[in-house]
Amino acid sequence: MAVSIDATAGGASANSYITLAEADAFVEAMVESTDAAKWTTGNADSRNRALTAATQRLDRERFLGARATDTQALQWPRTGVRKPDTYVNNYSSGFPFRISDDYFTDTEVPDQVKRAQIELAVYLKNNVDGISLGGLEDFKNVKVGNLDVTPDKTGAVGADRIPPMVERYLTGLRISGPGNIAIKRS
C-alpha cells in the first residue's frame, strides 16, 4: 500500500512536517552530492516512506514547550518555545538581550524541524539498513597499542542516534541533546 503524506500543521492525521514537493525542492537545492542524487531515484512512495520514517524518529525527541493542541498527531506545532538565536544587540549596554515576542506561534513548525526531517529522510532513503553512524559511539573503550576496545553490548549508546547534521538543526528546540550526560547515583 502506498504511503500518502499529510503535512497539515497541527492536523490530527498529519504524518509529516513537509510535503514531498517541499522535500524535493530542498534536496534539489542542496550541494550536488550522491545523497541528493539518490533521493530522486525510485518512486514517490519510497520518498514518502522516508519522510514519514524521519518524522516518526524526530517525534521521539523531547522538545521544549508543549503541543499546541491535544488532537494534533505530531510534536509540532508547540506552544511556549522561543526562537533560537533571536538576540538583538543593545548598543547602550553592549549586551545582547532577547526580543519579547520571539516565540514560535501555535500554528508554526520551525524551519529547523523541517530541514532536520529532510536531512534525515535523505539519510534514511540512502541507508536502507537504518541509522548507522559508523563511528565509535557503539564502543565503551578503544584499543590502540595497549589501549583496549570494548564494544557496548547494551546497544543503548548508538542504537537510536541521529546523524550530526540533524542534531545541529534541532539545537535550541530540545530539552536534551547529545551533549547531555545522565548522572546515575550508586
Question: pLDDT digit string (tens) for 133-153?
Answer: 455 555 556 666 775 656 555
pLDDT digits (tens, 9 = 90+) for 2-31: 899 999 999 999 999 999 999 999 998 876
C-alpha cell at 130: 537504518
User: What pLDDT is stored for residue 156 in this prediction?
Assistant: 44
pLDDT band at 172 (very low <50, low <70, confident <90, very high): confident
- Give CA separation, 28 vs 23, 33, 40, 83, in Å: 8, 10, 9, 27
- Residue 164 to residues 134, 149, 170, Cα–Cα distance (Å): 12, 23, 10
CA dihedral 169, 172, 175, 178 (to 10 degrees): 50
Segments in the chain forming alpha helices (H): 20-29, 34-39, 44-58, 111-126, 164-169
Out of 40-44, 51-55, 82-86, which region has the weakest mean confidence (pLDDT)? 82-86
> What are 59-114's pLDDT values in tens digits?
999 999 999 999 999 999 999 998 886 555 555 555 555 555 588 999 999 999 99
